[in-house]
Structure 1
Amino acid sequence: MNLLFSQLCKKHTKLVDQVRQAAMRGGQTEQQNTQESDGETQEDYMQDLAVLEEVIRMVLEIINSCLTSNLHHNPNIIYTLLYQKESFAMFRSHPTFQDIISNIDTVLAYFSGKLEQMGGNPSPTEVLSVIKQGALQFRRDRLKKFPDLKFKYVEEESPEEFFIPYIWSLVYHSSNLYFNASKIILFSLSS
């Protein structure tokens, strides 16, 4: 999850730079502006940025849900968040993310304080131990409660094109049933 978040942060930074560059080129003539060298206009960049920010928000909501509902069961997420806490800095002042980042910041500040009390240069095992102990003492009422996450499956026009070959490939690879591999045409053996 955190690897995904860090990749999204990199993409966000790159896209924000592209939006700025496109805005600076806004002084060019209309014809030059509509035919940029990479084929993307400022509007395209803004649309991409909006979609990317929705995805980042969703990832942050998932992280937030892990922290608010089961903090003591997620010490590895806390460990990784502490390790990558600089990734969240760019979103603290962004209005789209401020509410969710506040919970993550609360958790990061609490556990950073616990680690500072340890002093020295603790090993990863010691850090994880402090996180586990701190998670048991952490008061969840310090976190703002958000509605439970709900995701909806939207069925494609022809879902059987994916599901039937996928299910049969699972049966083939996971069951103890014999199938003549040379006769299989429903799915590729590599899938």
Structure 2
Amino acid sequence: MDANGKPEEKHIELLAGKIKECLPPSSVTKEDVVILCIGSDRYVGDALGPLVGTMLEEKNLPLSVYGTLEEPVHAFNLNIILKKIDKKKRKPVIIGIDASLGGREQVGHIMFKNGPLIPGTALKKMLPEVGDYHFVGFVNYVDPLPESQFLNDTRLYTVMNLANAITDVITEVFEEEKN
């Protein structure tokens, strides 16, 4: 999905519909869903996850959200948070969210995939795979600069558009089911 600017409602509904098809049938309740938003608010390019987590908490959806601006989930506490989730939830459905680097044409786009998220790969960090499904938002593109520079040179406008779009999609998936 293209999140450059405000995505059209039909694109949000289309992606939300595809996500509903992917999620396990009604044996999974909304309370079993964990949204794991990975990143740090110390770098604009890495703040996508914590921004989405904060926005989702403000929506008061019946989901467990880990990773906000106040309490980010990042490389240093990811394993602790995963153990915490494992203790609290029996068989959660985990949806991971993280920022990613891609090609120039991918910047501002969102990808939703079946399968685990592998956080930290752009910065060559060895972190555990997380989740059953995941969103990545392409915040910047690969350049000859050192990898850590990508996160510093990312536009907040792009990150905010991606965060708003991902939040809108997740809200569409889980808020609609309340009715």
TM-score by length of 1: 0.25
More helix, by proportion: 1
Query: TM-score of the superposition, structure 2-length normalised?
Result: 0.26
Judging by fraction of residues, say which structure has more strand: 2
Q: Bigger relative contact order, structure 1 or 2, given CA contacts below 8 A and separation 6+?
A: 2
Larger Rg: 1
